[in-house]
A and B are shown apart, each in its own frame.
Chain A
Amino acid sequence: MTARPAPPPSAAPRLTRAGVAGALALLLLTGAQVTHSAWQDTETVPVGQIRTGSLGVDLGAATTTVSHTDLTPGATTTASTRTTTRTLAPGAPASGLVVGDVMTTVVPVTIAATGTNLEATLKVDPVRAAGTGALAAEVNTGTTMTLTPTGGAPMLSPVRGQADAWAVTAADDGATYALTVTTRIRPTTDGAARSSTVGTGNWWAAGLQGATADPRALTVRVTQN
């Protein structure tokens, strides 16, 4: 009996083995927390209990105030000053501002965030002001924002590396925050106390007088991560 020569090795079995090995490796690498056992259970869920999550923000009515330092009534010296705050009518411009004045807009922001393991970012984006050059620039650089919990809402953590951004989870659903947008027109060109000689040094002098900055749109956006 003569032995039959061994058939030449075929490429197909090798490819199959390699594929199966790769698939097993991929399977092992996907999610260590995944069990592949065949346990199973069955529950009957009433129709209507299946809900999708939600994500959104709701802005309440904004209130804008302007604080201004001026002479006290009947002042006999220039050192007799006081700071007062006036509230603007809704939609009214903040006119007649003076360097050193501070305009503050407070708007309630209510978060809607439902969904399992939901993670999102709340971001506030003011449009850069347009208008008379120097004042527009001053308004843009002098605008800051804070987000303060109200009514026992949980504190939001700022998102590292992003300005005016906070982390939101489903735990914040229904929470309301006071978004405070502060626009500060510096009292002097460098923000420091004015120099002793009137009109020189860091004095604005005629700068920023009779200037305008257009209304600015401010977008509050919440985006799932």
Chain B
Amino acid sequence: MTRPRPRRRLPLVALLCVLAMLAAFALISPGGGTQAKWAGSQQMTLPAIGTGRIDLAVRPTAQGTDVEAGVANSSGFGLEYAPTQVRFAARSGSTTTAEDVNTFLNRGAGTSFAVHTATGCASTTTGARWSSPRVDNTTTGSLTTTASGTPAHEPLATGAADRPLCLGVRPDATTRDVLLTSAGREFQTTTTVQAATVAPGSWSTTVPWTSVHAVDLPTATARTGTNGASFTLGWAWPDTASSTDPTTTPAVNRWEVQMRSKTSATTGTWTAWSALGTVPGNRRNVTVTPPTSGSPWTTSTQFQFKIRAYPFAGTAKYVESSTMWQYTRSGTTYTRASTFPTNPTPGPVGYDALSLG
């Protein structure tokens, strides 16, 4: 006997039909918007970005007795600049000592530094754009000081080249006094030049400007000469009017007399007259007594003398007199010529092109 199929399937089919109709009805009824997800896009490229950098150059254009530089701005944008610091010390590798630095800086009320924006240090003794206060208590052989001015900075347009900067070293002493104590000394100045973008930008950098500042080493000048078996040679230094040197720490370490014999046919070589011993640096004359025997004293009748100044111990650096003494021997008597011949090669010797050369 087979069991009748359950009649429950009919209502279930009816239920599914109703649900299907409802679903179809819900889908086709206007719900207020389409249910699709349309989209579209396009792309573009924003440019790459590269930043510049401050490119300030401070190139020395004069060193030695004048310290000048040219300032150039290759940044591609305008700058403002100012020297903010100066360091003063002995030139690296030179024979100038820490004590020379102290002596130079501490004269009078001390030394100050002035920076000008005009060419020519010699013509810019006043009206400094930036300056530092005087300092007279240096004991360490170097000085670092700040420079300031109002307004603080100068404009420097892009592309500006060789804008002059002149560093004036201003000891509290006359030129003559400086020479008497510091002639031939070589110092090194390191000026910190600060550069920044103009407002509102805030990039900044510093560039060191290193230069040699050397004090001149003048030539001596033959001034007087007596006659006789012994005679006195007198000279002037550091200027032609100077016959005395009151300083206790003279710039000249020692003087040396050089002599050569001269005949109508031959001219001898210059030799130091060592018999005189050491002639102190603050002397301005020396009395010589030529030997009465031996060559060339008895073989030559013409003699020339010149004076050599050594600013330091040793013989590497010196300067000679610009003029010479010329004597004629007759027996044991020496008579000076009325004129002082010119010394064609007075020097100075031992200095490079950055300082006195």
From B36, B43, B151, give the contact of A219 (CB < 8 A). B43
B200 and A55 contact, CB distance less than 8 A: no
Q: Are B48 and A98 in contact, with the CB atoms below 8 A?
A: no
| Option from B7, B37, B45, B80 in Cβ contact (under 8 Å) with A216 | B45
Query: Which residues of B sit under 8 angstroms from A57, Cβ to Cβ?
Result: 40-42
User: Is B7's CB under 8 angstroms from A55's CB?
Assistant: no
**Interface segment, B19-27, B138-146, B332-340, B347-355?**
B19-27
In chain A, residues 180-203, which have Cβ atoms closer than 8 Å to a Cβ of chain B? 181, 183, 185, 187-189, 193-194, 198-199, 202-203
Are A93 and B29 within 8 A (Cβ)? no
B-side interface size class: 35 or more
Chain A nearest CB, measured from B18 CB (Å): 4
Which of B49-57, B91-99, B247-255 touches A?
A: B49-57
Whether A224 contacts B41 by the Cβ 8 Å rule is no
Contact B198 A93 (CB under 8 A): no
Q: Is A205 an interface residue (CB 8 A)?
A: yes
Please indicate the chain B residues that have their CB under 8 angstroms from the CB of A19 in the complex.
Answer: 11, 14-15, 18-19
Interface contact A96-B43, CB-CB below 8 Å: no
Of the stretches A27-35, A150-158, A159-167, the one at the interface is A27-35
What's the nearest-Cβ distance from chain B to residue A88, in Å? 6
A69 to B201, alpha carbons, bound, how many Å?
A: 8
Q: How far is the CA of A20 from the CA of B22 in the complex (A)?
A: 11
Q: Determine whether the beta carbon of A97 is less than 8 Å from that of B50.
A: yes
Does A220 lie within 8 Å of B11, measured CB to CB?
A: no
Tell me whether B42 and A205 are in contact (CB under 8 A): no
List which A68-93 residues lie within 8 A (CB) of chain B.
68-71, 73-81, 88, 91-93
When chains A and B are docked, how far (Å) is the Cα of A116 from the Cα of B205? 63
Contact at B47–A215, with CB atoms within 8 Å?
yes
Query: Which of B10, B46, B197 is close to A12, meaning CB atoms less than 8 Å apart?
Result: B10
Selecting from B154-162, B179-187, B272-280, the interface stretch reads B154-162
A105, A210, A220: the one contacting B51 at CB < 8 Å is A210
B344 at the interface (CB under 8 A from A): no
* A210 in contact with B199 (CB, 8 Å): no
Known: A103-B49, A203-B202, A213-B48. A23 touches B22 (CB 8 A): yes
In contact, A209 and B8 (Cβ under 8 angstroms)? no
A residues in contact with B78, CB < 8 Å: 70-71, 75, 81
B194 touches A198 (CB 8 A): yes
B47: contacting residue among A92, A194, A205, CB under 8 A: A92
Complex-state Cα separation, A54 to B38, whole angstroms: 8
Q: Per-residue 0/1 for A96-119: is the Cβ within 8 Å of any B Cβ (1 yes, 0 no)?
A: 111110010101000010011111
Residue from A33, A34, A97, A112 in contact with B40 in the complex, judged by beta carbons closer than 8 Å: A112
Shortest distance between the CB of A57 and any CB in chain B (Å): 5
Which residue of chain B lies nearest to A220 when distances are taken between CB atoms in the complex?
Answer: B42
CA–CA, A71 to B24, complex, Å?
A: 74
Distance of A121 Cα from B137 Cα, bound (Å): 76
User: Whole-angstrom distance between the alpha carbons of A211 and B49 in the complex?
Assistant: 8
- Known interface pairs A187-B201, A203-B204. Does A88 touch B47 (Cβ–Cβ under 8 Å)? yes
Report yes or no: A107 in contact with B44, Cβ–Cβ below 8 A: yes
Residues of A within 8 A of B174 (CB): none
Q: Which residue of B lies closest to A15 (CB)?
A: B11
Contact of B11 among A12, A53, A107 (CB under 8 A): A12
- Do residues A59 and B42 form an inter-chain contact, with CB atoms below 8 A? yes
In the assembled complex, 25 residue pairs joining A and B whose CB atoms fall closer than 8 Å, in A order, are A20-B15, A26-B22, A55-B40, A57-B42, A69-B199, A71-B155, A75-B157, A81-B199, A93-B47, A93-B49, A115-B34, A120-B38, A187-B199, A188-B200, A194-B201, A203-B196, A203-B204, A204-B201, A206-B203, A208-B203, A211-B50, A212-B50, A215-B47, A215-B48, A218-B46
6 closest Cβ contacts across the A-B interface? A56-B40, A19-B15, A16-B11, A71-B78, A187-B200, A221-B41
Apart from the given pairs A78-B153, A97-B50, A208-B203, 14 other A-B contacts in the complex at a CB distance below 8 Å: A31-B31, A55-B38, A59-B42, A69-B201, A75-B155, A78-B80, A93-B47, A94-B47, A94-B49, A100-B200, A185-B49, A215-B47, A215-B48, A217-B45
- Chain A positions within 8 Å of B, measured between CB atoms, are 10-13, 15-16, 19-20, 23, 26-27, 30-31, 33-34, 53-59, 62, 64, 68-71, 73-81, 88, 91-100, 103, 105, 107, 112, 115-120, 126, 129, 131, 135, 139, 181, 183, 185, 187-189, 193-194, 198-199, 202-225
Chain B interface residues toward A at CB < 8 A = 7-8, 10-12, 14-15, 18-19, 22, 25-26, 29-34, 36-54, 76-78, 80, 151, 153-155, 157-158, 194, 196-206
